[in-house]
Amino acid sequence: MTGSETLYEKAVIHIPGGVNSPVRAFGSVGMTPRFIASAEGAYLTDVDGNRYLDYVGSWGPMILGHANPLVLEKVEEACRKGLSFGAATEAEVEMAELICSMVPSVEMIRMVNSGTEAVMSAIRAARGYTGRNKIIKFEGCYHGHCDAMLVKAGSGVMTAGVPDSAGVPSGGTQDTLLAVYNDISSVENLFDIWGKEIAAVIIEPAAANMGVVPPKEGFLQRLRDLCTENESVLIFDEVITGFRLGRAGAQEYYGIQADLTTYGKIIGGGMPVGAYGGKREIMEVVAPVGSVYQAGTLSGNPVAMAAGMAQLTYLNEHPEVYEELSCLGEMLYGGMKKMCQELSLPCQVHTVGSLGCMFFTEQAVQDYTSARTSNTEQFCRYFRYMLEQGIYAAPSQFEAMFLSAAHTKENVQYTLDTMHKYFEK
């Protein structure tokens, strides 16, 4: 029995499913999760000493690679001063100034502790600002596990959502409306029906939780126009795309500005951090300035702020990182596309910058319904083979691959060669 298997047997006794987040479970690929002991650069090492080339990157935030020396140095300095104060610090001010200087649409920002908390708070702020209750979200877009966002995908476009989790009362999602990603008419229909009752539209500008599904040309701009016309708040969930697709995230990448934006662990260098920010007039409804209450005892933790400042400062001062990541993305995902064509594989490869995904389906993928046509059994066999060859990707067909600045062309070529050997079998 391996060390990971031994730990898993212990874990299931005291931890539901043996994991502290379902995304870490390997159940969908019929395996025991790998328990990781350490990480450095582009590699993970598990408790059995197996070394893996990592394309998960802690689900995105490790854009500079694991255990980046610049980040570790600042974290160590902060730790020596104290782990937590529960009081205001200079680091919080510096972080707010830096983010607002990098993202033109963010004039004020509030630190929280996770992407879920950021989304929950942004929705509350949008409702408080507009005095309305209804929220439009898109099938297949994941916005954390707050009640209003746990809506069953495919339950209908012009009806209120149905909870997709036990423990969520129907009242928790009665004001959540579902639209179809990349189908602007589904959004227009909702505005035609509900009009001025819609407080906000929330979207992953580049969907990355149903695999990677880029927006169609003009789709995001039309959302922007609809929200402006109806005085609704446009919320970009950039927990994944923020500071990854560019210094100003997807808003820079696509040239569209949101009213509110949510962020996740990338602003903490991988530590548990989140934030939401946007227009000053909206953010000033948040307590203690306004009447929308939101609080967090450990929000803006000084150690997390130190990690985030180190990472974001480097990205801000070295924009060439994004050019290099784009080149690696073109090499990896472009190579995957070429392989699929040459070998006539029933697969679709999608990419947005350093994000990518291979769908095991012949059908073109543009939304949640088409993504679900993927053959998950084929993905399972592919995943197992890649893991055996030392390549660690997400144990799910519907997750993204993440490149980091620590990956090399040699890493990418090894990955492509390994894929080619699998598909030639």
Q: Indicate whether 94 and 54 sit together in one domain.
A: no
Q: Which CATH number goes with the domain that contains 416? A: 3.90.1150.10
Report yes or no: 140 and 299 within 8 Å, Cβ to Cβ: no
State the catalytic residue, choosing from 8, 43, 55, 142.
142
Q: What is the mean pLDDT of the chain?
A: 94
Active site residue 265: yes
Residue 418 pLDDT > 60, yes or no? yes
Q: Indicate whether 215 and 287 sit together in one domain.
A: yes
Q: Indicate whether 276 and 397 sit together in one domain.
A: no
Query: For residue 201, which amino acid is it?
Result: V
Q: Indicate whether 82 and 62 sit together in one domain.
A: no
Q: Indicate whether 171 and 288 sit together in one domain.
A: yes
Q: Indicate whether 252 and 350 sit together in one domain.
A: no
Residue 292, strand partner residues? 286
User: DSSP letter at 304?
Assistant: H
Q: Indicate whether 191 and 274 sit together in one domain.
A: yes
Task: Give 81-103 pLDDT, tens digit per residue.
Answer: 999 999 999 999 999 999 999 99
Residue 156 pLDDT > 90, yes or no? no
pLDDT average, residue stretch 120-128: 97
Distance CA 216, CA 198 (A): 23
Residue 169 pLDDT > 90, yes or no? no
Residue 27 pLDDT > 90, yes or no? no
The last residue of a domain, from among 300, 317, 334: 317
pLDDT average, residue stretch 240-266: 97
- Give the HSE-up count for residue 336: Cα atoms under 13 Å, Cβ half-sphere: 22
List the structure tokens of 275: 């934030």
Task: Give 186-204 pLDDT, tens digit per residue.
Answer: 999 999 999 899 999 999 9
Helix (H, G, I), strand (E, B) or coil at 286: strand
Which of 253, 274, 278 has the alpha carbon at shortest distance from 265? Answer: 274
Distance CA 374, CA 23 (A): 18
pLDDT at 163: 55
Report yes or no: 52 and 391 within 8 Å, Cβ to Cβ: yes
List the structure tokens of 416: 């492509």
Query: 424, exposed or middle or buried, with CB in 10 Å at 0-12, 13-18, 19+?
Result: exposed
Residue 200, strand partner residues? 135, 233
**Looking at per-residue confidence, does 357 or 149 come out higher?**
357
- The number of domains in the chain is 2
Task: Give 370-385 pLDDT, tens digit per residue.
Answer: 999 999 999 999 999 9
Which H/E stretch holds residue 111? strand 108-112
Task: Give 331-365 pLDDT, tens digit per residue.
Answer: 999 999 999 999 999 999 999 999 999 999 999 99
pLDDT at 201: 98
pLDDT average, residue stretch 254-275: 96
Task: Give 303-314 pLDDT, tens digit per residue.
Answer: 999 999 999 999
Q: Indicate whether 85 and 36 sit together in one domain.
A: no
Residue 366 pLDDT > 90, yes or no? yes
- Domain ranges, residue 22: 3-67+320-424
Active site residue 333: no
User: DSSP letter at 165?
Assistant: S
Long-range contacts of 397-400 (CB under 8 A, 24+ apart): 397/28, 397/211, 397/359, 397/360, 398/209, 398/210, 398/211, 398/371, 398/374, 399/23, 399/59, 399/208, 399/209, 399/211, 399/357, 400/60, 400/208, 400/211, 400/212, 400/240, 400/355, 400/356, 400/357
Interior CA angle at 310 toward 247 and 391, to 5°? Answer: 75
Which backbone phi and psi does 292 adopt, to 5 degrees? -85, 110
* CB environment 149-172: b (16+ within 10 A), e (fewer): bbbebeeebeebbbbeeeebeeeb
State the catalytic residue, choosing from 265, 322, 337, 368.
265
Could you list the beta-strand ranges (E) of 212-318.
Answer: 233-237, 260-263, 274-278
Task: Give 269-294 pLDDT, tens digit per residue.
Answer: 999 999 999 999 999 999 999 999 99
pLDDT at 164: 64
Report yes or no: 273 and 113 within 8 Å, Cβ to Cβ: yes
Report the interhelical angle of 184-194 vs 219-230 (nearest 10°). 10
pLDDT average, residue stretch 208-217: 96
Residue 115 pLDDT > 60, yes or no? yes
State the catalytic residue, choosing from 54, 175, 183, 237.
237
The total of other beta-carbon atoms located within 10 Å of residue 20's CB is 10
The last residue of a domain, from among 317, 334, 367: 317
Q: Which CATH number goes with the domain that contains 240? A: 3.40.640.10
Considering only 71-80, 163-172, 321-330, which range has the smallest mean pLDDT? 163-172
Residue 45, strand partner residues? 38, 51
Q: Indicate whether 245 and 281 sit together in one domain.
A: yes
pLDDT at 161: 45
Q: Indicate whether 280 and 384 sit together in one domain.
A: no
Query: 27, exposed or middle or buried, with CB in 10 Å at 0-12, 13-18, 19+?
Result: middle
Q: Indicate whether 104 and 39 sit together in one domain.
A: no
Q: What percentage of the chain carries pLDDT values higher than 90?
A: 89
The last residue of a domain, from among 291, 317, 343: 317
Q: For residue 264, what are the contacts with CB-CB under 8 A and spacing of at least 6?
A: 60, 61, 114, 115, 118, 239, 240, 242, 273, 274
Q: Indicate whether 172 and 75 sit together in one domain.
A: yes
pLDDT at 174: 86
